[in-house]
Structure 1
Amino acid sequence: MADNTRGVQSVQKHIGFNLCLSQYTATDMERRTTLNRALAADAAQGVELIFQTKSHLVREEVLRRIQKGIKALPFAATLSPDTLEAARVLLRAGAHPLDPAFEDMNILQFAAY
């Protein structure tokens, strides 16, 4: 995995790739970052690479699309049957089941709901 981290850092340094850059596409309701897109696609390896270089992003809110865009911590945003691999990566990166989720519920309560 050290080679992957070195590769990500090399890309950032040499071509200016910014993991925090947000942008629109034709189907986006709001600007979305690389992390948003990796979480939505359940790209566990991509999520892991992002957290290796930017571990503080575990605690930053991301946009989650349900019927409208709402913001949540990345772990809450991954809680659906289709994104369990990314949720496992988030747990290893430091997310906690008692972190806030939606509507005054923590992630554990939201998952059980």
Structure 2
Amino acid sequence: MAQTYFTSDHEWIRVEGDVATVGITNYAQEQLGDLVFVELPETGRAIAKGDTVVVVESVKAASDVYAPIAGEITEVNDTLSSDPALVNSAAESGGWLWKMKLTDAADLDGLMDRAAYDATTA
């Protein structure tokens, strides 16, 4: 069963087995406004917790999206190249940014659940 975690930088991470899907939260996309460009990473790239992995650009600003955990990127959401606004309409589902293979499940220990995350944005 999938478990979803959140970071203080407004990323979400949904973990199923040793595969994690990462995106930005609905709160984050609301703060950014309409996205006009998403710079996706290359598959096969090894990333460390805290690395800048994706840059999202909106009509307001450009923002970095950080790796919530360490791992290797296995897939990117290519749909976002032609439709970056999908992040705005489906931030926590179809607007995911990348999938990765976890290297250390202990990285998940410092992340928040939905209730804790929602309390930080209230």
**TM-score bracket for this pair, using the shorter chain length:** under 0.3
The alignment's TM-score, normalised by the length of structure 2, stands at 0.27
Which structure is larger by alpha-carbon Rg, 1 or 2?
1
| The structure with more helix, counted as a fraction of residues | 1
Comparing both structures, which one devotes a greater share of its residues to strand? 2
TM-score w.r.t. length of structure 1: 0.28
